[in-house]
Amino acid sequence: MCIATWATAERIMARNRREPSGPGAGAGFNNVQPDPSRVGGVTEAPFVRLPDPAALFAGRAERLRVLAEGHPLGDYLRFLAGVVDAQAGAVVALPTPAPLSAARLALSAEHGMPPLGGQPLRGNADFAGVLAWMLDHMDLPGAPEAAQAAQAAVRAMPEEERAALASGITEGAYPLDRMAEALFVAAALQVHLSRLAAQLDGTAVQPSADGVCPACGGVPVSSMVVGWTQASKARYCACSLCGTLWNHVRIKCTACGSTDGIAYYTIEDGSKTVGVETCAACRSYIKHMQQHEDAGLDPVADDVATYALDLLAREQDFRRSGINPLFLTG
Ligand SMILES: [Zn+2]
Ligand SMILES: [Zn+2]
């Protein structure tokens, strides 16, 4: 699956490649100057926006199908739409998990830790139930062969092994030799954590370290300038696991916190609403979406659909700081 994806993406990259458009610009990259007037001054922005799991997954599945039309990665995007359909279905079909206890919330607040972080997944009936339900209800007729084999492999996995894989994912450990299996486990984890995050008190969620979700401790998948808050053009990181959005200062690296050497690039002749923010200090990059200009942008779906940006950023020796559990490319 990965090999086919890379090959397809290479074609996109070749199609989009252009000569450098200015000093410091890489092949195919347009350097976009940040607007200083948009920095800071967004004190009215709520710190977090907790997910609404039903709307999140239903909207994402729809977005994936829209993006798949005429896209070189169309088959993969449609396959993901089937996975996300199962996520949306699980949210509707399964009882809502019990919220975190007051004692647990108090303990995490006392230690400044994300309340959903470090949860034991072994023996967790809600997580196990979500994964089992999804495996039984996923309709993936056109899925890549490797994905179908992975689905069968996860089906055959003992529950303890599924939980161990999920625990590793919460710590950012995606096993290179089991990336396809990890996709299904991570998809169930997204459902499990988003339903718990939805029950938190958003006003009580405290900032964590740079690049760490304050609700679950996950890393961002991408970041967005949003239009839904009264604080116009505030920037949020989108959690790769629980779907929480948290406010992050603009023109500041989400990985190392540096405010020096930040640059923005889009692809010439490509989307102007999805680009990358690169950091010269730690050589990382993250997708940066202008959701205030296109409300349909989804932090996970549009990240996959703009894979050509990843290839170009890597060509410039930047490493990806965000993780997309539905598109693990190594
Ligand atoms: Zn999270
Ligand atoms: Zn950095």
Closest C-alpha among 254, 179, 183, 185 to residue 221: 254
State the pLDDT at residue 183. 95
Q: Are residues 70 and 155 in the same domain?
A: yes
Residue 330 resides in a domain: no
- Structural domain tally of the chain? 2
Q: Are residues 225 and 311 in the same domain?
A: yes
Q: Are residues 195 and 209 in the same domain?
A: no
Ligand 2 center to 298 CA (angstroms): 23
State the residue range of the domain holding 125: 52-200
Residue 34 resides in a domain: yes
Residue 294 to residue 238: CA distance in whole angstroms? 16
Residue 135 has pLDDT above 60, yes or no: yes
Which range has highest mean pLDDT (207-211, 267-271, 284-288)? Answer: 284-288
Q: Are residues 187 and 80 in the same domain?
A: yes
Closest C-alpha among 186, 159, 179, 155 to residue 83: 186
In tens, the pLDDT along 86-133 reads 999 999 999 999 999 999 999 999 988 999 998 889 999 999 999 999
State the pLDDT at residue 273. 96
Q: Are residues 272 and 230 in the same domain?
A: yes
Read off the pLDDT band of 45 (50, 70, 90): confident
CA angle 85, 63, 244 (to 5 degrees): 80
Q: Which of 166, 183, 200 is the last residue of a domain?
A: 200
Ligand 2 center to 314 CA (angstroms): 15
Q: Are residues 75 and 103 in the same domain?
A: yes
Q: Which value, in Å, is the radius of gyration of the alpha carbons in the chain?
A: 19
Helix (H) or strand (E) holding 285: strand 284-290
Residue 327 resides in a domain: no
Residue 54 to residue 215: CA distance in whole angstroms? 18
Q: Are residues 84 and 190 in the same domain?
A: yes
Ligand 2 center to 304 CA (angstroms): 22
- pTM of the prediction? 0.87
8 Å CB contact between 243 and 197: yes
**Ligand with the closest atom to the CA of 299:** 1
Residue 329 resides in a domain: no
Query: What average pLDDT score do residues 194-207 get?
Result: 95
Residue 325 resides in a domain: no
**Ligand with the closest atom to the CA of 237:** 1
Residue 220 resides in a domain: yes
Residue 295 resides in a domain: yes
Q: Which of 171, 200, 229 is the last residue of a domain?
A: 200
Residue 219 to residue 239: CA distance in whole angstroms? 6
Read off the pLDDT band of 28 (50, 70, 90): low
> Which residues neighbour 258 within 8 Å (Cβ) at sequence distance 6 or greater?
252, 279, 280, 281, 282
Ligand 1 center to 48 CA (angstroms): 10
Q: Which residue has the higher pLDDT, 233 or 216?
A: 216
State the pLDDT at residue 190. 98
Ligand 2 center to 212 CA (angstroms): 14
Domain CATH code at residue 263: 3.90.1670.10
Residue 328 resides in a domain: no
Helix (H) or strand (E) holding 53: helix 53-68
Q: Are residues 167 and 63 in the same domain?
A: yes
